[in-house]
Amino acid sequence: MSHSHGLPVAHAFSQRAILTIPQYGNGIHRHVDYDTSGLAELAVSGDAALAAGAYDWAIELYSAAIDPDYATDIIFSNRCQAKFKKNYGMKLLSMRRRCGGICRFVTELNSSSYLGYELKHAALHGGERCATLWTRKHKLRQQYVGSSEAADAIEEAIRAELDNNPHRLLNTSTGRLCDRQAQINAFKTSAEYEELVSSTMKHADLRMERIENAVVTYFRYVMLSHRWGENELLLQDIQDKTNNVGVRESVNSMFVWYRHSSLTIIYLPDVPPSSKSGALTRSIWNKRGWTVQEFLAPKIVLFYQKDWTLYLDDHSPNHNDSAAIMRELGDATGIDTQALVTFRPGMRGAREELQSVSMRVTTLQEDIAYSLFGIFSVNLPVIYGEKKQNALGRLLLGVVAQSGDTTCLDWVGKPSDFNSCLPACITSYGAPPFMQLSALSEDKMQTSVSSLRGSGVVELASQLYTTLDDLTAPRFAHRRLHLPCIIFPVTEVTLRSGQEQETYLTHEVKADGLCDVLITTEDNLIPFSRVMPIRQKFLLVRPWDRNLLELSDSAKPFNLADDAQSIMSEDYQTLPTSPMCDSSDMHSGEHAPIVSESDSRALRLIVGLGQPFGAAVEWRIQRNRVRS
């Protein structure tokens, strides 16, 4: 007798059999001597072992009870069931192959047996249950992620959040200055990070929302705005940070940092405790260049006095909601109180923004321009040492080139060496625009348009409209301004009498295509007329304003790649006199013919061109520098 791997081996001797069976569960073998009639007892014992879940023992008992000389299909079937249940946890494909093979063996043993088909049905039914379990397990896996995957998702959220955060923050608990990597390391060693990783692994379906909320909460910061004192430490006093790239990025990102802050504290060291309204206006903080963006950008601000008590004893959570403080700040800056609260960076209303900062000062002269980068939403190189004319010139160049807004050319003062169309100093914007014009009411516009319909100018107006509509936006190239404009040759200049001792002199000027105008300037212009001409020629130049076209938002965009065109006076010698100057040829419009929408739009342009506008003087040598 022999046995292999502890499995029973039976040898047939006449009508007797000797069976070696391992005692279930303890590894002890016992020998049983059975005759043929005892095979039935083995089968019964196998059934009991199968019912008890002792599949290995059941398989051994059934194997010993099988007799090829007798019909033992049931015993063989039961052994198949034991093997099937033993291997129930195997993968579906492997199980189907195994059970399919067993079923084929049973049916081949007795082709008329139904037991093989029952086993086949059981195998397939078990496979369906296994597939259901596998699907549930797959869904559970989708709800859970590994620690490395969770850490990667958190890392991505951290990088995105820190894009809008300052490069260095002061840890108020430790007093340490932390760069971005130090901030990240502090978070990863915190209890908040461990809890976030754990919750992310358990709640994969909500992980991004949970991660973003947790990261935003942890990396919140407060900004401080104040007038830097003479004896206060600078960054270079703390650690060597002379990287010019970092300086440029900081200057261009300053507005975003204040906008993204959870709170901005504005400290007024020269405002004593219990001050009354008006102290904020007089504070030196309100006269510095950098502080403009520091109160325009934040969403939540609090003003503190010298002793760190709240200004005006206002304990509201956000002083942007304080009507008294915002009214005082608006009076001090000239900015509308509503605009103070709802300010958005950009180039809309650039002239008004320049006027509001025109009287502010900075320690470094270039900073008066650099401090406005964020307000106008421009990103330009920071070049300390270039002097304020160049810094301001590059800023204004960017504003005009990107927005097409020519109101930046409305200033009073000395021209810049950077470009004679731009001022040398931002204080040139301190004076309000030469003439604040209110738009014509619709009734007056319709009346003026009706008076033009029968005057024979409709065709010419349409041609002019088409020409002006084709003009490109203003742009700078190599410091030269390419400016679409309308040029009016000056035919006569006369100095008003009685101004010999005046600083600013007023001249009466006549120009082709214009009503008589008055020009006030520091320069004493040489009088001349058509009768008494001089060699020097003067031109009145009006920068073209596309708003006069009254185009809708769907109008074709500017083509910045093309060279700008100028409408020279000789091209429009037949330009009609402004309707505001001479109405003798105007008809009442009572019986005016009906014109198309395009003609009506062209006539509205003529009326708009007839409205008063401001002017500035440019000498010929300067004009030649900017004409294309």
Q: Could you tell me the pLDDT band of residue 563, with boundaries at 50, 70 and 90?
A: very low
Does residue 355 share a domain with residue 472? no
Nearest to 349 by CA among 405, 275, 293: 405
Does residue 426 share a domain with residue 453? no
Does residue 73 share a domain with residue 38? yes
Q: pLDDT exceeding 90 applies to what percent of the chain?
A: 35
Does residue 516 share a domain with residue 564? yes
Residue 603 lies in a domain: yes
Does residue 600 share a domain with residue 524? yes
150 pLDDT exceeds 50? Answer: yes
Does residue 415 share a domain with residue 389? yes
Question: Is 544 within 8 Å of 484 (Cβ atoms)?
Answer: yes
Residue 477 lies in a domain: yes
Tens digit of each residue's pLDDT (9 = 90 or more) over 473-486: 888 888 888 888 88
The total domain count for the chain is: 3
Does residue 475 share a domain with residue 388? no
- Between CA 13 and CA 11 the distance in angstroms is 6
**How many Cβ atoms sit within 10 Å of the Cβ of residue 381?**
11
Q: Which of these three, 87, 114, 143, is where a domain ends?
A: 143
Does residue 427 share a domain with residue 372? yes
Residue 16 lies in a domain: yes
158 in helix, strand or coil? helix
**Tokens read off for 7:** 């499995």
Residue 51 lies in a domain: yes
Q: Could you tell me the pLDDT band of residue 623, with boundaries at 50, 70 and 90?
A: very low
Residue 162 lies in a domain: no
Does residue 467 share a domain with residue 369? no
Q: Which of these three, 396, 411, 433, is where a domain ends?
A: 433
Pairing of strands 222-225, 263-267: parallel
- H/E stretch holding 486: strand 485-495
Tens digit of each residue's pLDDT (9 = 90 or more) over 515-560: 888 888 888 889 999 999 998 888 888 888 777 786 432 333 333 3
Residue 287 lies in a domain: no
Tens digit of each residue's pLDDT (9 = 90 or more) over 2-20: 444 443 333 333 334 444 4
Instruction: Say how many CA atoms lie within 13 Å of 418 toward its Cβ.
Output: 19
Residue 113 lies in a domain: yes
Residue 6 lies in a domain: no
**Tokens read off for 232:** 């206060």
Neighbouring residues of 459: CB distance < 8 A, sequence distance ≥ 6? none
**Tokens read off for 332:** 């001090």
- The maximal CA–CA distance of the chain, rounded, in angstroms, is 152
Q: Which of these three, 433, 461, 489, is where a domain ends?
A: 433
Note down the domain range covering 351.
Answer: 345-433
Q: Could you tell me the pLDDT band of residue 178, with boundaries at 50, 70 and 90?
A: very high
Does residue 609 share a domain with residue 481? yes
Does residue 406 share a domain with residue 516? no
CATH (domain of 103): 1.25.40.10
Nearest to 127 by CA among 86, 97, 103: 97
Does residue 510 share a domain with residue 615? yes
Q: Is the dihedral of CA 557, 563, 564, 568 positive or negative?
A: negative
